[in-house]
Chains A and B, each alone.
Chain A
Amino acid sequence: MDQLTESMITIFLNDQPFQAVAGASESLLDFLRHRALATEVKCGCGRGDCGTCAVLFDGRMVKSCLVLAAQANGKRVYTIRGLGRDALMANLQDSFIQHGAIQCGFCTPGMLMAAYNLLRIKPTPTRSEIRQGIAGNLCRCTGYQKIIDAIAAVAGKTAFVSEAADSLDSPNPTATDQEKAKAGYLLLGGG
């Protein structure tokens, strides 16, 4: 390993530690796709314009192409595959499926992340607030309408939304399962 241009990075990816060497200028997106093979994180532009690479990073939604892998060292990263057992995300995924909100599907992982992030911050958004909440994520297939319908359908009916928000913001990625449970983590489903 060239110490000047590379470093060893450990991230907590979907609650599992993952370690690999990353280049100094390597984005978190490249690290996730090429090193961790987390291919559910998509690359639509690589420069922050499209939102297909959105992940939860340290409790916040980010476009992973705009974060350096090195910045993620020691941090918790969730992709949609890691949130599959989270009640809010599962509801959103099901709602996207039921509403026909998925056409080519390439924007879907990022779009779901934006929807999840929005509902954590604002559990009952108006339609216009939903539009604002996903404005950083491009979709070329749907015209956004069915995506907004899908999000609106979940918005009304998830009382557990704010609790999910707390759990993911937990600052200690190495917490034991017991500690996580205490922190309300296991809204993620017990694991």
Chain B
Amino acid sequence: MKDRVIGQSVPKYDAGPKASGLLQYADDFTLPGMLYGKVFRAKVQAAILLGVRTERAEQLPGVHAVITAKDVPNNNLRARFGQSTDVGGQFEGLYRVLAEKEVRYYGEPIALVAAESPDLAEQACQLIEVDLQPLPGVFDSVGAMEPGSRQVGEKPNNIASHFKIRQGDVDQGFAQADVIVEGTYRVPYQDHAYLEPESGLAWSDDDGTINIRVSSQVIEHFREVAEILNLPHSKVRYLGTWIGGGFGRKEDITVESYLALLAWKTRKPVKLTYTRAESLLYHCKRHPFQMEYKTGATKDGKLVALQARLISDCGAYSALSPWVLLYATVNAAGPYQIPNVKVDSYAVMTNTAITSAFRGFGAPQANFAYESQIQKLAHILGLDPLEFRERNYLQTGEAFATGWIYERPIPLTELAQKAWSGLGPLGSAEGGRKLGRGVAIGMGSYGRLTFLHDTSRSYIKLELDGSAIIRCGVPDVGGGQGHILCQIVAQELGVPLERIKLHITDSQLTPLAGTTTATRQLMMSGNATLKAANELKKRLLIKAGQLLNVPIENLIITLNRIEVESSRKEGVSLVEVINRLSGEGEELFVEAQFNAPFTDIPASEVLQGQTHPDFTFGAYAAEVEVDEQTGQVQINKIVAAFDVGKALNPAIVEGQIEGGCIQGVGYALFEDMAIHNGVIQTPSFAEYLIPTAVDVPDITVILLESGSGVGPYGAKGIGEPPMVGIAPALVNAIEDAVGVRIADLPVTPEKIRMAIAQKPEGKR
């Protein structure tokens, strides 16, 4: 059934229920006798925790449980973030459920309360007293690296993780260079700011099994929660809900360990939903990075050397910081052919909010630095920025800075040219504002690190009436992660989309599909579902071949039917084939597993060879108007061009690019998280400004389909890559407009105004 469903922008499985208001998110569920959970948090950045007194809270009528660290069976865990492969200490963060002995950051959870109403839970929290002996806080990640800095965590120094790239000899490389540019770039914290705050509802079964209905990107955390409670893995079950936005934050455990503890202690259902302020103040953020770059090129425009030192602030616990750092390191030189590369990267602990996964996962940070450097080199060399890039793009068969030889297409020349020409004729600026244009490219990985030995499983059952059931433990964050499995089944098995029932995210009843992170689900669960569908298809075709007396190579599956390709009138209904097989005792169900490409665990902190299954490449071009008097930036147009391999549902693919682009616009221009001595000062959307509909322009999306992806039908992943490239494109456009180049994101009007004021006379 060639391209009947695949490649079509059919509405998503979940779109109707969402439009009607019938779809239930985590906070929409209730149970009789339900209690309300609340987290009591530290109001100090760093202190010795001498004691917690909970008696007054416990005595408040209507309070059913107050839990502190001493009540938690296993309060200190080595977090393994859902994977089943043990990859060693470099990658494992200490994960503490509740503070004990010390407080490391403002807002660190100290106690949990369950009470009969949210107000009572709040009152109980106010009755909890803590004895603290304040410690001097460590707030500057660069300073925290120095010997003698106070130790934030349990390691002998504050460097949680360190990676290197060593390619060629940078000293020799810089000696060959005619031009060397250096720059220090700073990128900020960013809040995920999904619209659905963290939420869940947990209850204990008759046999003591803890059930957790929760908005989570990783239902495999049931294992970690079981370990916290000292229960067998089989006695904790996740029932994931459709997720009201994740962007990486719902990759780490959010509320579920607290819920599990409270439900376990009270044997009653407990709900816990964060307020927006709790979400903004206390949940983890995108890592801020300081990036020192030195890049050299010859006068004929060939890059010869790149040296970079990346420092990320990982906050008070390492969480996913080592992984994010690894991604940033792999991305540090970008998709360029540079013979000599030296990168040193560090994740540094401070007494600040935890930083962890966020769309792009280290790649947007490095991209802003390497693309800024490229732009500066092009200016100095007097080369057109696109042409300079074209002389240096990595080509198929060449090696990334890690030494991994890449055999797939890298169509960056075409992508960047299409994005640039897509801007069309130059507009005219209004009111004396200055017009400018910029372009930048980027790459983003999809699939988890290959040494994690990633797998996914999916189950399909064909019913006797020709309808189908899919079971796959795939969390859906809104990107069509669940829906696309239906499209694959419809394509391969001829089942109409409306006759497919999809079950997702039950950690005990749906086959485990792994995390909805790392832009992996289309590749992983898409391939697992395609594999299952192909096995069923083969069985259907064999039976149909017998019934029609035709070799199976001549048969095709069409809607509800199996037909002879050369004579379409000849055929048999799917229902008949299914019933014949069923009558012979052959039920039509398959559970299939897909394994990602595997590599060995890195032997040292020097990253070498393949680290990811693949990369997605893209380019952005933007036109802006800048008011020189106020520094205000208005974006007139954005063009995005991405090689998506194959767009299985173009509307979904465009939606990922448009949404990722605008999240990147927020990162580049608006989202300014104020942190003073480790305390976040932006507790609402009135202070922390994410883009609204009037802040952003229309985006033209250009899809290139090279068919070269690792996903089903040659698709590449597109969830995270659109976050990469937009920030440098905008900064380049602003520089084109007013002649100032900002190296610290976000590029606020104040920064532009200050830079214009400091610009030497005579320079544009």
Contact = CB atoms under 8 A, between A and B. Distances in A.
B655 A140 contact: no
14 contacts: A42-B244, A44-B197, A45-B684, A80-B19, A81-B20, A97-B19, A100-B12, A103-B478, A104-B242, A104-B477, A108-B18, A108-B19, A132-B694, A140-B247
Interface stretch (B188-196, B421-429, B708-716): B188-196
B690 A102 contact: no
Nearest to A89: B19
Contacts of A143: 655, 658-663, 691, 696, 699
B195 A138 contact: yes
A143 B665 CA distance: 10
Q: Could you say which of B24, B195, B243 has the most chain A C-beta atoms within 10 Å of its C-beta?
A: B195
Interface of A: 37, 39-40, 42-47, 49-50, 52, 79-81, 84, 93-94, 96-100, 102-109, 112, 127, 130-132, 134-148
B181 interface: no
B118 to A, nearest CB: 9
B535 interface: no
A38 B53 CA distance: 39
Contact of B196 (A46, A93, A106, A147): A106
B18 A45 contact: no
Interface string B686-719: 1000111110101100000000000000000000
B692 A107 contact: no
A142 B658 contact: yes
A49 B686 contact: yes
Q: What 8 pairs across the A-B complex have the smallest Cβ distances?
A: A40-B21, A104-B478, A105-B18, A106-B244, A100-B651, A143-B662, A49-B685, A103-B478
A131 B693 contact: yes
Contacts of A100: 9, 11-12, 15, 651-652, 654-655
B194 A96 contact: no
Nearest to B660: A143
Contact of B20 (A93, A139, A148): A93
B571 interface: no
Q: Could you say which of A97, A106, A136 has the most chain B C-beta atoms within 10 Å of its C-beta?
A: A106
A96 B684 contact: no
A49 B197 CA distance: 14
Interface string B187-224: 00000111111000000000000000000000000000
Contacts of A132: 693-694
Contact of B655 (A45, A84, A108, A142): A142
Interface string B647-686: 0000110110011111100000000000000000000111
A146 B651 contact: yes
Interface string B374-397: 000000000000000000000000
Nearest to A39: B28
A125 to B, nearest CB: 12
Contact of A107 (B15, B192, B195): B195
- Which label, helix, strand, loop or mixed, suits the secondary structure of the B interface? loop
A84 B692 CA distance: 27
Nearest to A80: B21
Nearest to A107: B195
Contact of A106 (B25, B696, B699): B25
Contacts of A144: 658, 662, 692-693, 696
B244 A105 contact: yes
A104 B196 contact: yes
A45 B685 contact: yes
B721 interface: no
A140 B690 contact: yes
B22 interface: yes
A110 B21 CA distance: 10
A109 B21 CA distance: 6
B654 to A, nearest CB: 7
Contact of B276 (A44, A81, A131): A44
Nearest to A147: B693
Interface string B239-264: 00011111100000000000000000
Given A81-B21, A103-B479, A144-B696, A97 B16 contact: yes
Nearest to A142: B659
Q: Could you say which of B19, B658, B659, B696 has the most chain A C-beta atoms within 10 Å of its C-beta?
A: B19
A42 B196 contact: yes
A105 B479 CA distance: 10
Contacts of B509: none
A98 B690 contact: no
A42 B19 contact: no
A45 B685 CA distance: 8
A44 B195 contact: yes
B27 interface: yes
A98 B11 contact: yes
A30 B602 CA distance: 52
B554 interface: no
B275 interface: yes
B699 A84 contact: no
Nearest to A139: B195
A45 B687 CA distance: 13
A141 B693 contact: no
B19 A146 contact: no
B130 interface: no
B227 interface: no
Nearest to B119: A23
Interface in B13-62: 14-16, 18-25, 27-28, 30
A40 B23 CA distance: 8
